[in-house]
Amino acid sequence: MNISNEKRDARRRTLGMLSAAAIGTIAPGLSGLAIAQQKGSLRIGYQKYGTLTILKARGNLEKRFAAQGVDVRWTEFPSGPALLEALNVGSVDYGTVGEAPPIFAQAAGADLVYVANEPPAPSSEAIIVPPNSTLKSVAELKGRKVVLNKGSNVHYLLVRALERAGLAYKDIDVVYLPPSDARAAFERGSVDAWVIWDPFLAAAEKQLGARILADGKGLVANHQFFLASRPYAEKNPAIVKGILEELVRVDEWSRQNQKEVAAILSQQIGLPADIVELAAARYSYGAQPVTDAVLAEQQRIADVFAALKLIPRKIDVRQATLQARA
């Protein structure tokens, strides 16, 4: 095997680690469509980052709910939109996503509710370019190809970054691809920039030498949200409350044990420790119930997406809360 083939194989292995959910874990989760939900089950959708991944590794929920006969099941997803699609069709009951996915899902009619959120983590997402790119500013993206996962948390980052640079959304050529395919296009040079979140962002920096053109600082909050399907939340308020209590506890532990967090995440997602340490350092810890102020921020994002016709209709974000039908 020649050197170029070895490099190609290494890249494929990395992509496989980053997007294992895309081929190996969605199907088991979606098989729940054909099986009635068992009494006392809690089906959680998670991604390759954040508090839920740590919670899964430490087994806190299983310990807490064992005495109540609640069977905790975990399904990994490659992105927020895919996770919320599964939540909408009844494959999972609870999950975590960024800011944009619940807006797209609500606009599409998903019956979900906001439960909690993490504090802002604006540097956990960014617009990146290859190390040899001549681009030095977002303004230079005019007429260029920019790839991102449609409906993901980075979608709003791109809109805001373009706005600050004096560009309209239509001024760039947007390509929609999931993270694994987006990285492949980025490596091939098929696109000029990639808008992506951690740990994919950290992996691109460490492994590809990707350069950050702009991150979320000063542009977006980049909250992580915890959501549940409305039927599950209304039927199981004690379980939903218990999940938040465990999230608060594991967040506090994580804040004080960054090295251990990186070790856990590295083992869980199969990425080198230096990549995970970079991503974990940019994450924010401190789960809390969703406030009116955070919902107002979500409403602003939803209004922007509606104006750009990225979602089919205007929505009232507050309708995706338990209080809306109380």
Query: pLDDT (tens digit, 9 = 90+) per residue, 135-152?
Result: 999 999 999 999 999 988
- Backbone angles phi and psi of 229, in degrees to 5: -70, 140
Tell me, yes or no, whether 239 and 314 share the same domain: yes
Count of structural domains, the chain: 2
Domain that includes residue 133, residue range = 123-215
CATH no. for residue 29? 3.40.190.10
Tell me, yes or no, whether 144 and 265 share the same domain: no
pLDDT band with cut points at 50, 70 and 90 for residue 17: very low
175 pLDDT higher than 50: yes
- What pLDDT is attached to residue 18? 42
Tell me, yes or no, whether 112 and 130 share the same domain: no
Tell me, yes or no, whether 316 and 262 share the same domain: yes
pLDDT tens for each residue of 217-242? 999 999 999 999 999 999 999 999 99
- What pLDDT is attached to residue 19? 40
4 pLDDT higher than 80: no
Q: Which of 215, 248, 265 is the last residue of a domain?
A: 215
Q: Which of 161, 182, 215 is the last residue of a domain?
A: 215
- What pLDDT is attached to residue 264? 86
Tell me, yes or no, whether 115 and 156 share the same domain: no
32 pLDDT higher than 70: no
Q: Which of 199, 215, 231 is the last residue of a domain?
A: 215
pLDDT tens for each residue of 44-80? 999 877 889 999 999 999 999 998 999 999 999 988 8
2 pLDDT higher than 80: no
